[in-house]
Amino acid sequence: MNILKWVLQLLYCTNIKLVTYNIHGLPRIITRDDTYARMQEIGDKLTQIHPDVIHFQEDWTTYGHNILNKSLDYPTENRLDEHVNSYSIFGSGLFSLSSFEELDVVEAPYEKRYGYDDIWASKGYIVQRLWISELQTSIDFYNTHMDAQDRSGDKKARKSNVEELIKEMNSYSMSHAVIFAGDTNLGSSDTDTETYNRFITGANLTDVAVTMNVTKKIDKILYKSNEVLSVEPVSYDILENLVELSDHKALQVEFKICKT
């Protein structure tokens, strides 16, 4: 690399670390463990790492949420806690945090859900439009948790969830770079594979797992560049110190963001 190219990268590139983590934050009577002790430990360990952006799923309880929030203490935070129906027990379980300034936010429960497990909750998505001061521009960060389980009704609900995301990305985020990180519940069935492919092509996204040549998971991190910014993953890690604290793995990806 010549000196001029190195200087230009210093001036027009920055790295962003993102963690997405389904924290299994249901009440203790359901998890059959000490949920709130786990929330404290998750908060403490992520504070030590201090990624730039964190996307949580299954942050279900107010008490557990307050433990996380107090531990992490990020300047930008959004929690989608809307209860869609009168019989909903939980909100979306989504909690997004960032070190960056927030220019705008969209919070939306999904229109379709299937089964008692998803009817009692109000899953959806959060979009944070975050200002990257080093580059003097913004990126749209999407956090979501889609319909769970593998019945035909669940798979149809996930297809609907993906169509809502595609619509949002092709309207609200049409001219913006996008980083998507969340629990899609998209498995390896023919229907889910079709839904995944529709998501990738319909929103013009790239899967970090494909770029980095790692095993695909239902917890996915996807991205899209635009005319102003080039977005590329440079590292992918499973955070081993958090493995025993949930039934999902915490994934961390470092992106290099450069002005084009």
CB atoms within 10 A of CB 25: 26
List, for residues 74-118, the tens digit of each pLDDT value: 999 999 998 877 667 888 999 999 999 999 999 999 999 888 778
- Asked whether residue 10 is assigned to any structural domain, the reply reads no
Is 1 inside any structural domain? no
- Report d(CA 80, CA 74) in Å as an integer: 16
* Collapsed DSSP state (helix, strand, coil) of residue 163: helix
Distance CA 6, CA 166 (A): 36
CA 85 to chain centroid, in Å, comes to: 24
CATH of the domain at 248: 3.60.10.10
The residue written with tokens 């229907």 in the block is: 191
Q: Is residue 3 part of a domain?
A: no
The whole-model pTM stands at 0.94
Mean pLDDT, residues 112-126 taken together: 88
Asked whether residue 129 is assigned to any structural domain, the reply reads yes
CA angle centred on 140, ends 137 and 144, rounded to 5°: 165
In a domain, residue 37? The reply is yes
Q: Is 180 a domain residue?
A: yes
> 4 in a domain, yes or no?
no
What's the pLDDT at 85?
A: 73
Q: Which domain holds residue 246?
A: 15-259
Q: Tell me how many domains the chain contains.
A: 1
Q: Mean pLDDT over residues 161-166, rounded?
A: 98
